[in-house]
Structure 1
Amino acid sequence: MRTLEHPDRDDLRLDAVLSALADPVRRAIVGQLADGHAEQACMAFALPVSKSTSTHHFRVLREAGVIEQRYRGTAIHSTLRREDLDARFPGLLTAVLAAG
């Protein structure tokens, strides 16, 4: 089974999370995960970028620890790491989501 690397909760870095959330496309992904189902396939996101650019945005979010991604068959499903982000940086995710 293929797996993807994710930082542990204690290894989340504020600068990496803020950098990942600085991009409007990545904020749209996070917003959709926050408002939608707990887990969504990457193809469920209607993003205004090419597939390869979309893949890049998901990778940046995963490597920063904002989302978790898991293979489900041949599809990759993403979930928001809300609990981990709230534990490390209380209020940050709520503020980012409220700001739009």
Structure 2
Amino acid sequence: MTTAAPAPAPSGRDLPHPPCEEIRLESVLHALSDPMRLQVVRELAADGGELSCSHFVLPVTKSTTTHHFRVLRESGVIRQVYRGTAKMNGLRADDLEALFPGLLGRVLEAAARQSDRLGGR
């Protein structure tokens, strides 16, 4: 008989994330409506794994970048965890697909078409 691994003990560095059942469509759409946040989501989707915050080069201040990551996390679009000193980011694609089938894929497809149409902008 297999048992689930125990959940890690909470630490002062744990970040709050909404449980899947509390993720709301309006919050997800709001998070995806900003070009900087959409860029982060596109990069995470293309990578398919986790990327550190330092991986992303956004043309905004560090405090604004922090704000964008917080909006994405609090809306349920990404999961952030500390691994050593790095804050790692991963797309909650499975949760979003379960809640809103096809939404993330369609948004990413539309963003790619728009980028092509506007010459990579």
Same fold by TM-score greater than 0.5 = yes
Q: In the alignment, which residue of structure 2 is the partner of 1:32?
A: 43
Q: 1:12 aligns with which of 23, 31, 42?
A: 23
If asked which structure has higher relative contact order (CA below 8 Å, sep 6+), I would say 1
Where structure 1 has 5 or more consecutive residues not aligned to the other structure, the ranges are none
Structure 1 Cα separation of the partners of residues 64 and 30 of structure 2: 16
Q: In the alignment, which residue of structure 2 is the partner of 1:70?
A: 81
Rg bigger for which structure? 2
Aligned residues: 100
Structure 1 vs Structure 2 CA RMSD = 0.8
Q: In the alignment, which residue of structure 2 is the partner of 1:97?
A: 108
Q: In the alignment, which residue of structure 2 is the partner of 1:56?
A: 67
Q: 2:95 aligns with which of 84, 92, 95?
A: 84
Where structure 2 has 5 or more consecutive residues not aligned to the other structure, the ranges are 1-10, 112-121
Q: TM-score, normalised by structure 1?
A: 0.97
Structure 2 Cα separation of the partners of residues 35 and 68 of structure 1: 16
Q: TM-score, normalised by structure 2?
A: 0.80
* Displacement over 4 Å in runs of 4+: none
Identical-residue share of aligned pairs (%): 56
